[in-house]
Copies of this chain bind each other. A is one copy, B any other.
Amino acid sequence: MAFHKEEIIRFRHCDPAGIVFYPRYLEILNDMVEDWFKVMGYPFEEMGNRLGAGVPTINLNITFMHPCRQGETLSLTLRCLKVGDSSFEINISGEQLGQPILDAQIVLCFTTIGRQVNKLSIPDGIRKKMQEYLTDPTAATI
């Protein structure tokens, strides 16, 4: 199973060269992970307020294949690659009218939030949900 989303490229995303300023793509990807957690039933704000947990990004490897411009629609697909004890790895790819725009591997980790940031085991409910998005259901360890 994959999670899909479309994002309209806006004025605020674009730089003086008229294309998306790349840190803005990372905001778009962060929004998508946020939406995915909401769809799985674990909105970020509840994880923060109720569980004292967050999912900071540990590693990001992203390739930009083609620029995207104001008014274009970026079609994004999120897949889960691995689910470990406290960390998990996802892939997000983006295309515009069939043209590849970006491809990202992102490793995130469940942690406490606050002055001390410590690893947390992924809660069972979220783990089960994540596993439904695994491209290879045998990929259980990160």
Binding site for B on A (CB under 8 A): 10-12, 14-19, 21-24, 26-27, 30-31, 34, 43-46, 48, 54, 56-64, 67, 69-71, 113-115, 117
* Main SS class of interface, A: mixed
Task: Count this chain's copies in the assembly.
Answer: 4
**Looking at the complex, which one of B10, B14, B57 makes contact with A31 (CB distance below 8 Å)?**
B10
**Looking at the complex, which one of B12, B34, B67 makes contact with A23 (CB distance below 8 Å)?**
B12
In the complex, what residue of chain B is closest to A43 when comparing beta carbons?
Answer: B71
CB distance from A56 to the nearest CB of B (A): 7
Contacts of A115 in B (CB 8 A): 18
**Looking at the complex, which one of B24, B26, B45, B70 makes contact with A48 (CB distance below 8 Å)?**
B70
Closest 8 CB pairs of A and B: A45-B71, A23-B26, A45-B70, A17-B113, A61-B61, A14-B16, A23-B27, A17-B54
8 cross-chain CB contacts under 8 A: A11-B16, A11-B31, A12-B30, A12-B31, A16-B70, A46-B71, A58-B64, A60-B60
With A14-B16, A15-B11 given, is the CB distance from A30 to B23 under 8 Å? yes
Contacts of A14 in B (CB 8 A): 15-16
Contacts of A43 in B (CB 8 A): 71
